[in-house]
Structure 1
Amino acid sequence: MERYLKRKTSDDVVNAHNSARGNSCPNVDDTNWEEKIEYDPGLRKEIDSYHPNQKDRVRRKYLQNGPCQPRTFNFPITKISGKDRKFNAEWFDEFGSWLEYSKAKDRAYCLCCFLFRDRTKKEDGYKAFVVDGWNGWHRKIRLKEHVGGIGSLHNQAMKNCDALLQRAQHIDVAIQIQSEATKNAYFTRLNGSIDVARQLLKLGLPFRGHDESKDSYNKGNFLEFRDFLAQHDPALGKVVGKDAANNSLMVSPEIQKDIVECFAKEILHSIMEEIGHDVFCLLVDESRDVSCKEQMAVVLRYVDKCGTVKETFVGLVHVKETTSAYLKSSIDSLFANLKISLKQVRGQGYDGASNMRGEFNGLQSLIMRESSSAYYVHCFAHQLQLVVVAVVRKHKGISNFFGMISTLLNVVGGSAKRRDIIRDINHEHVSKALGCGLLQTGTGLNQEQCFQRPGDTRWSSHYKTLKSLVDMFPTIVKVLEFVENDDRDRANRDQATGLLVYFQSFDFVFYLQLMLAVLIITNTLSLALQRKDQDIVNAMKCVKSTRHHLNEFRNHGWESLLGDVYGFCDKYDITKLEMEDEYINPKRARQKTGITNKHHYEVDCFNDILDWLLQELDNRFNETTSELLICSTSFNPRDSFRDFNVENLMKLAKLYPSDFNSG
């Protein structure tokens, strides 16, 4: 916070206050704005065309002049529906001070809506009474419809007109007539609220409480902290006590939001000044919040003037759709507000969803159409996890395997009683193994084991789940038998019966050993890619090494995998299948398949899964991204620019043609 929001001196506060009142506004022509005031409503300039510091003075001038109501004018006659029609001067008396008539265009207008109507709200006669004018003289009821009810846009504009004419109630006038002591007390309370907000933002604490009344014991962090500050600051404590006006405490929720919003604008302004016209990378991710609204977080990654790489959060945008086109339009709107361009983007980083990484209609391709050098680079560790996810979704056997494990976790770990049974049985097995000398004792050995639930995207947790399943297999079988026989819930008993059948089948053992072998290879790469000190070149070598190991396992790993499967079956008395026998589909036992068990498990399962893994690795870690990252290492200052390479620099220049000239 201190980097962006520095405390200002009293002179800075006075100058900012005068600037806000319009006393000091450069590049504003204050001499001829009154000459542009038109009495005829059909010839006037729009209010938005004036400078913001002039708008209120222009509005006040129009209201002082009053509406254009030429009562003695000979209104022209117009043929409407075969009858002669014209404006009626009596309408000026009936509809008060808002109705105007333009001699130049023979149309009626609304003065209040012209001065204060929100241009974004086009309903309730905005076009007829503000832009083009109204000439439906045969339908007087349209005038009443334009006025509308109490909360109509027209009545809101009239209230704004009345408030503008009451100068004595304006903030700048009220401050001017106050005594110097009152002004100082006001600024002391305001500065106290700003300091409290500053500290809460530093600590990342929420502001509001459930009960902010005076007698509450938990008013929320903002009020509690401000009261604490007032007790230790005599100047603040004096002006927030009984002497402070109830409507000037500067602690309302609206004030808190205004202060935080000012902080956000100042920080964003500082970040945009630091970026300037330089290039940056765009990082985007979208997810649902607690209210089930899709929110898109936008982060910019850039190098500051000191050469430090920074990642700064610049916005949270609510998106109604998650299509790539809608996300692109939301980013365009945010960039327009921040006054930066997609032409400055030199890199993109998203998750692996199809709407983000799609080569033809994904978000990264839409942005690359505007900035050809905005290359998409995904987190290597996450890409590796998505490779395994893609295989799971493609192969029915693997998908069913992980689905059964998820069901097993719900049944076995669904109650504290079953978890206690797991601990007791596992403790008994460990004690017997120690007594027989099968296990060694020592620090860190034979720790209490549990059946870990895997995460959706963290595939290293799936490896831990399968490893604990192998180590605790007899324990899990006993717990399932206990649930099948003694559980009171019939649904749990039925699930346990089905799980016992599946987990004592050859299919389960085969997929268990296969996925363990695959995850051992990929988990080593995943851990290497997640190291913060990992070098890019080493990371690319790790990817190539993993692909090589998977390819070796694909070509020469079938016999070793089958040996592990048969060994597990022999250990736990599970029926083995002879590979030369005819394969029987469990879902259609009477239908002949015409293939052997070896063909099904080796070709349709083992080879297919590993082929898909290798294909996904090639797709995720494509050649362009790899070349870009390797060429970028030429700028690495580690070990006195040990990786500096002129050829890589030339390749990098070709990848960014707009940043390097041919000379």
Structure 2
Amino acid sequence: MAIVLRFVDCEGFLMKRFFDIVHVADTTAVTLKKEICNVLGRHGLHIKDIRGQGYDGASNMRGSWNGLQALFLRDSPQAYYVHCFAHRLQLELVGAAEKESSIWLFFSKLTSVCNLIKASPKRHTELQSAQAIEIANMVATGIYDTGTGLNQIGTLQRAEKFYPGDFNGQELHYLRSQLVHYKVDNIHNERFQNISTISELCRRLVETEKAKYYQSIDKLIRLVLTLPVSTATTERLFSAMKLLKTSLRNKMEEEFLTDSMIVYIEREFTAKIDTDSIIDEFYSMKNRRAHLQ
């Protein structure tokens, strides 16, 4: 079982990091929860702080009564479960294919269209131009708001009701007043023009230091961003594990496998580690007959 943490860092960037891989005796929901709690507990993390959980949709994971997501919801009612969108799309496609005999024609044509567009930069540019015209028409007719952050604020206004435990009565009052003030403030601020996602809005608040003035908005944005939408990162971890744990390394212990996967997957961090510091760390662990080089 692979564990991936999704969080927002202090600079407003949404991060997904490989945390641990755990061997489980069985795949029952109770066993999986116990192992996850043990891993989080060793690192000082608490179940009550979970605000989102995502799995592949297996019955032992998504069960409404005894599934893993239901067990966590009993301890943390705001640890909302999101069925992986990729798996949901696959289920929808399978259901559509069963009900529509000509569904294969759609996918065959779709493949041809994709190949046709990607083969020519000119066709790709024409497609982008057509999409830009369509979006402009939607803005003109009022279907979409302009890119001044209003779409994101509307999303936050709908999301505030899902986190009653994170905002008391006074904080909810501050949040609503800040949302109203932000609508007026961002119209005259060029830094907040043409923001397309909530993640980008979070980074912009930190960059402009407005997160200090819109603390409640910043808090709500971070809560929303922690909701997992896909388990694709976890699937890639299992693919990486197949590269590391080959037939020649079949006896690799769990702890060593986890450490190896961290070094392999989180390359941007391991690239910053100085080799000399590693040697000094091993040298200081115990007395050695020879100096390490």
Same fold (TM over 0.5): no
Greater length-normalized contact order (CA 8 Å, ≥ 6 residues apart): 2
TM-score of the superposition, structure 2-length normalised? 0.41
Going by fraction, where is helix more abundant, 1 or 2?
Answer: 2
Normalised TM-score (structure 1): 0.19
